[in-house]
Structure 1
Amino acid sequence: FAVVKGLRTYSSAQVYCRDVYRGQLTSVHSASRNQELQKLARTYTRWAVWIGAVTSRRTGKWESRWEDSSPWNYANWAPTYPHHIVTTCTTLSTRDGLWRSRPCFQLRPFICQY
């Protein structure tokens, strides 16, 4: 994993992970991995970081999915999330480890997996 402190939009972060690390924004499949990534990110930044999940409306219903197409078998959403209004990207809080829906154009640090 690599935590990148430079602030980027979600799509720009995804391109950075691909071009620099030949990877992608991280997916998270367990509570232990979520905690590990929270601690790792917290050593670099106080900001919530992008992870590789997008929530969007597909075939008439809202769903969240990982950019790397891995199974959606774990989630750590904060209460009232994810939002089902517009397509949103996902942050992992360095403070509480919870995930929140955010507009994809926001500038944030991010975590690449490779």
Structure 2
Amino acid sequence: MLSYSSYMLTALAALLVTCHALQKCPGNPRLPGVPGLPGRDGLKAQSRLQGLLESLDTELILLNLKHRLSRLEGVLALNGKTKEVGEKIFASNGKEVDFASALESCEEAGGTLATPTNEEENKAILSIVKEYNRYAYLGIKEGETSGQFEYINGTPLNYTNWHQYEPNGKGTEKCVEMYTDGTWNDKRCNQNRLIVCQF
């Protein structure tokens, strides 16, 4: 069930899309497709609408701030090394666990396992790996087809940095670790590796 905030955000989005498509956004004398009300009633309706729009705008700003704060809370909960690249924040608490526990730790902090989607993100994760001088799990797993890897959300990889002759597990090594040189290796998921999360 959607929360009140979700309903308000949906309503705001629909209103903005409609008014911009018709190029008649609030602030104009009339709403698109709604004839203006004459006299005092028209001014009252327009004033109420303006108040509603300001309220929705405030709600949108608050939702954005809540999202940003929850990301920062997750990073601070890890209380370790952090690196920011673009819209992503990578962080580690220096602990080593198996893949399932690493994923669970990141999700409990409000993030997920680090998933590099380009060279810049790979380098950011590598900087944390080098600081701890330990291999780290990435948010990448082998899919249903042996030898085909994907992000943990099921989308295909759009960037790879495999070590020479990797992946070579042929269905027996379903997780992916990052070496201390930034290259990747497929690995059994029960080994303990550094937790690096992204937010």
Pair in the same fold by TM > 0.5: yes
TM range, normalised to the smaller chain?
0.7 to 0.9
Structure with bigger helix share is 2
Question: Segments of 4+ in structure 1 off by > 2 A?
Answer: 68-71
TM-score, structure 2 as length reference: 0.51
Aligned residues: 109
Hey, what's the Cα distance between the residues in 2 that align with 1:4 and 1:49? 12
**2:95 maps to 1:9:** no
Structure 2: stretches of 5+ with no match in the other structure: 1-89
The two structures, once aligned, show a CA RMSD in angstroms of 1.6
Is this contact kept in 2: 1:27–1:68, CA < 8 A?
no
Identity of aligned residues (%): 23
Larger radius of gyration: 2
Identify the residue that residue 111 of structure 1 maps to in structure 2: 196
Q: Which residue of 2 is the match for residue 30 of structure 1?
A: 118
Structure 1 residue 61: Cα displacement: 4.7
* Corresponding position: 1:54 with 2:136: no
TM-score by length of 1: 0.85
How far residue 39 of structure 1 moved from its aligned partner, in angstroms, is 1.1
Larger RCO (CA within 8 A; separation ≥ 6): 1
What pairs with 1:18-97 in structure 2 (closer than 5 Å)?
Answer: 18-19=107-108, 21-43=109-131, 45-56=132-143, 58=144, 60-83=145-168, 84-94=170-180, 96-97=181-182
The SS at the match of 2:153 is coil
How far does residue 8 in structure 1 lie from its aligned partner after superposition? 0.5
Q: Matches of 1:62 and 1:70 in 2, distance apart?
A: 15
